[in-house]
Amino acid sequence: MRPSTSSTGVDTLAALIRSSRSTVALTGAGISVPSGIPDFRTPGEGIWSDVDPFEVASIEAFRRDPKRFWEFYRPRFAMLGGKRPNPAHAALAALESEGLLAAVITQNIDRLHRAAGTRELIEVHGSIATSSCVACGQAYGLAEVDGLFDSRGIAVCDVCPAGLVKPDVVLFGEMLPAAAIERARELAGGAELMVCIGSSLEVYPAAGLPELTLAAGGRVAIVTKGPTPYDRDAALKLEGDVADELTAVLAALG
């Protein structure tokens, strides 16, 4: 399908949301770009544009060389910790508070949906909000982690000092949390409308969620830049700035 022009598309998406008895949002890295967080693969800018994630951000990398792992992750913790929700996050929280959005399923680990006020949030890749000891399970809030680093530059547990502390995010090579992905699938299968925002819809299993909505007779709307595998099946696609588009949709619903 052809992308809609912004004004026409905004009105159409607002009408789809208004008529839907169950709307779910699926968000990816693109929704956080207006907050100053780079996406994953934009040349020269994306998080993985100049590094192999399997070498520095996989569960095997953590086990093999935790020092190198934290050399990569520690500055990103500092960077993400200072970021704030943008109007796209705020728009989704407002839609939920108005009873127009049942839940947000996110692939992001940045905590921004929760900071914006979203209550029904399924974080299928975990969150940087906490890190935990792999030995005893002791959990630490984001602000506490920086105090756990030893002279080697490795975060260690202060309950069992032999235990290494790992972010509570899904690293490459790890399984997604079963309860979160099951809840996401349940929501997707029961949605009359799924709005996919800021995602290329290429990373599975989250990328398979729109198919569950379509298979159950629901509709999919896409708000993202660049092509996705679902463009042809989508009821609507908007390709403008996600913050501008969602703010306009919220206004149209007001």
Instruction: Give the model's pLDDT for residue 54.
Output: 59
90 alpha-carbon distance from chain centroid: 14
Instruction: Kindly tell me if the per-residue pLDDT of 62 is higher than 60.
Output: yes
What confidence tier does 59 reach under pLDDT thresholds 50, 70, 90? very high
CA atoms within 13 A on the CB side of 75: 5
**What structural domains and CATH numbers belong to the chain?**
1-37+85-125+175-254 (3.40.50.1220), 39-82+127-169 (3.30.1600.10)
* Whole-number Å distance between alpha carbons of 224 and 201: 10
Does 89 qualify as catalytic in the annotation? no
Peptide bond into 75 cis (omega under 30): no
Give rounded-to-5 percent helix, strand, coil for the chain: 40, 20, 40
What is the rounded average pLDDT for all residues in the chain? 90
Give tens-digit pLDDT for 202-247: 988 889 999 999 999 999 999 999 999 999 999 999 999 999 999 9
State how far the Cα of 63 lies from the Cα of 46, in Å rounded to an integer: 25
* pLDDT for residue 11 is more than 90: yes
**Token pair for residue 117?**
């006020």
Any idea which residue has 């009105």 for tokens? 11
Confidence of residue 45 (pLDDT cuts 50, 70, 90): very low
Residue 5 has pLDDT above 70, yes or no: no
Q: Is the pLDDT of residue 81 over 90?
A: no
Is a pLDDT exceeding 60 seen at residue 2? no
pLDDT 10s digits, 110-133: 999 999 999 999 999 999 999 999
Residue 88 has pLDDT above 60, yes or no: yes
Specify the pLDDT at position 169. Answer: 93
Q: In this structure, which amino acid lies at residue 29?
A: A
Tell me which of 89, 113, 114, 125 is the catalytic residue: 125
Q: Indicate if the pLDDT at residue 86 is higher than 70.
A: yes
Band the pLDDT of 25: cuts 50, 70, 90. Answer: very high
